Amino acid sequence: MSAQYPPPAAAAGSDRSTLWGVLGIVIGLLCCGILGVVFGFLSIRDAKRFGKSPVLGWVAIVLSVLGVIGNGILWSTGNYPIG
């Protein structure tokens, strides 16, 4: 009878779902909502690939979209603090 070995682990550093999610939240809220959405999608993609929870990616997307909408409202009403 042959022994059953677990599947090999992914290479160290190849799972960047947390990195993409955190970058999406920070970048999406601070400066560039579109880039935050992109990072959110990258986080979801890596989370699915490595069997992790995609919640951080969804949070990045939602907060980035809310940031874009909020900035659009501020800009359209003339209350935007930057020029």
pLDDT in tens, 46-66: 999 999 999 999 999 999 999
Q: Supply the pLDDT for residue 14.
A: 76
The CA distance from 42 to 20, in Å, is 6
Dihedral (CA of 33, 67, 43, 48) sign? negative
Residue with token string 């986080």: 43
Determine what percent of the chain is predicted with pLDDT higher than 90: 58
Q: Supply the pLDDT for residue 59.
A: 96
Q: Supply the pLDDT for residue 75.
A: 85
The CA distance from 45 to 26, in Å, is 19
Q: Supply the pLDDT for residue 61.
A: 96
At residue 3, does pLDDT exceed 90?
Answer: no
